[in-house]
Amino acid sequence: MWAYNGQYPGPVLSWRQGDTLRVRLHNDLPQPTTVHWHGIRVPNAYDGVPGMTQDPVQPGKQFDYRFVVPDAGTYWYHPHVNTIEQIGRGLIGALVVHERKPPEVDADWLWALTDLRLDRSGQIVENFNDLHDAAHAGRVGNVVFINGALQQDFSARPHARIRLRLLAATSARIFGLRFDGSRAWLLAIDGHPVPVQLLSEPLVLGPGQRADVIWEAPTEGQTARVRDVFYPGRGYELAALKASGAALTLVQSPPAPLPANPLPELGPPTQPEFVINLQGGAMSREASREAIWLINGKAMKNEAMGHGHQPPLFTLKSGHTLDLVLNNRTVWHHPLHFHGVWLRQRLGDQWGPVRDTVLLSPQESTRVRLFADQPGHWMVHCHVLGHQANGMMGHFVVV
Ligand code: C2O
Ligand code: CU
């Protein structure tokens, strides 16, 4: 495997809101790399995109990341060079920014959900650039891990309220998490607080997405379970939570909401909406061997090369908003991730929670409102890494 500081997943990096993140990357890999800080608001120079915001860090070289973390929540970090291989070999880690006054909970757990594709001898299958995977659902692994471990039995005192930070750090696998046998409430999505909501439907997390949940331990001697039921007919038990020890008092009321992050309130759009069409995939008319996936008819294949050669998809002004119409013209799921901005998806007649990655179902059309803060060149790409590597990338500019 490839690992951050010898660990899979990498160390959980934690700061307090308003602190300055300081990380020195030493590249001991046999190929160039960078670190992208996924979801956290970051100055452009530290966004980790090779050839666009920094030079790739060559083997033996180093790079210092340093910026203030303005928002509390659950974020993560990963390479942005040859991402399909570097994440596929294990380079991911969580970034937790604690509230200045963290809410009281009985435990604060983080689950980095990953998968690997292993052969019968337990070695990573090294077909990272397999075109069949890339043209379909991506590189879905055959072994799922919580924090790098197969042992999925947890325990807590009866009725304990656990803040569970869920991070989907897979190359392609999507999760649909069903909480059975005890209550769970949704607290935050992609780092940002949402109105507290009892989970009754599976919690869907596409690659790159996060959710914070309050998970209540059951009564003495009972076991609660989390099942992943995303892929029809292929459900499995992800984890079990046994209640043991001295019981805590059962609290009936739902947990309190998290304090909002200091995101600037931005007004309505001041420029016409922009349309993004996602195209391509196996058997589609637009796809070719060179460009399996496309955004608005164009494929950007090399993270480190594309930017100089391709015009931005769109430009927007710092402090302004822009509405995007996202049309998934393919028969596959795409978790579309935007760097440098945050967004809300139109859900019915309202704007949904703040997030950085929106999961599009096959043939789905939706509308999002982008909020732009930091100027610079920023990427937008599918977080199914085989889709990204084979064209489903582009960039936009905030001026
Ligand atoms: Cu999580 Cu451009 O990436
Ligand atoms: Cu995709």
**Does residue 142 form part of some domain?**
yes
Is the domain of 78 the same as that of 128? no
CA distances to 176, 183, 238, 241, 256 from 153, in Å: 19, 18, 9, 6, 27
**What was the pLDDT predicted at 305?**
52
**Does residue 263 form part of some domain?**
no
| Residue-number span of the structural domain to which 32 is assigned | 13-98
Give, for 155, the enclosing helix (H) or strand (E).
strand 153-156
Ligand 1 mean position, distance from CA 37 (Å) = 8
In the numeric block, which tokens belong to residue 13? 């990096």
Q: For the domain that residue 41 is a member of, what is the CATH number? A: 2.60.40.420
**What was the pLDDT predicted at 152?**
84
Is the domain of 296 the same as that of 326? yes
Is the domain of 289 the same as that of 165? no
Ligand 1 mean position, distance from CA 184 (Å) = 28
Q: Decide which of 78, 98, 118 is a domain's last residue.
A: 98
Ligand at shortest distance from the CA of 47? 1
Q: Could you read off the pLDDT tens digit of each residue along the chain, which spans 399 residues?
A: 999 999 999 999 999 999 999 999 999 999 999 999 999 999 999 999 999 999 999 999 999 999 999 999 999 999 999 999 999 999 999 999 999 999 999 999 999 999 999 999 999 999 999 999 999 999 999 999 999 999 789 999 999 999 999 999 999 999 999 999 999 999 999 999 999 999 999 999 999 999 999 999 999 999 999 999 999 999 999 999 999 999 999 999 999 999 999 998 888 999 999 999 999 999 899 999 889 999 999 998 776 554 556 889 999 999 999 999 999 999 999 999 999 999 999 999 999 999 999 999 999 999 999 999 999 999 999 999 999 999 999 999 999
Is the domain of 364 the same as that of 313? yes
Q: Decide which of 221, 243, 265 is a domain's last residue.
A: 243
**Does residue 337 form part of some domain?**
yes
Q: Determine the Cα–Cα distance for residues 233 and 239; give it in Å rounded to an integer.
A: 18
Ligand at shortest distance from the CA of 39? 1
**What was the pLDDT predicted at 304?**
57
Is the domain of 73 the same as that of 141? no
List pLDDT tens digits, range 113-165: 999 999 999 999 999 999 999 999 999 999 999 999 997 899 999 999 999 99
Ligand 1 mean position, distance from CA 389 (Å) = 12
Is the domain of 111 the same as that of 239? yes
Q: Determine the Cα–Cα distance for residues 279 and 328; give it in Å rounded to an integer.
A: 7
Q: Determine the Cα–Cα distance for residues 80 and 36; give it in Å rounded to an integer.
A: 6
**What was the pLDDT predicted at 303?**
63
Cβ of 136 less than 6 Å from ligand 1: no
Three-class DSSP category at 86: helix
In the numeric block, which tokens belong to residue 144? 């799922």
Is the domain of 168 the same as that of 200? yes
Q: How many CB atoms lie within 10 A of CB 328?
A: 21
**Does residue 2 form part of some domain?**
no
Is the domain of 372 the same as that of 303? yes
Q: Decide which of 98, 130, 153 is a domain's last residue.
A: 98
Cβ of 369 less than 6 Å from ligand 1: no
Is the domain of 239 the same as that of 119? yes
List pLDDT tens digits, range 194-230: 999 999 999 999 999 999 999 999 999 999 999 999 9
Domain count, the chain: 3
Q: Determine the Cα–Cα distance for residues 75 and 167; give it in Å rounded to an integer.
A: 8
**Does residue 268 form part of some domain?**
no
**Does residue 6 form part of some domain?**
no
Give, for 351, the enclosing helix (H) or strand (E).
strand 350-355
**Does residue 168 form part of some domain?**
yes
**Nearest protein CA to atom 3 of ligand 1, as residue:** 38
Is the domain of 300 the same as that of 321? yes
Is the domain of 279 the same as that of 394? yes
- Give the chain's length: 399
Is the domain of 81 the same as that of 178? no
**Does residue 7 form part of some domain?**
no
Cβ of 339 less than 6 Å from ligand 1: yes
Q: Determine the Cα–Cα distance for residues 386 and 292; give it in Å rounded to an integer.
A: 10
**What was the pLDDT predicted at 290?**
86
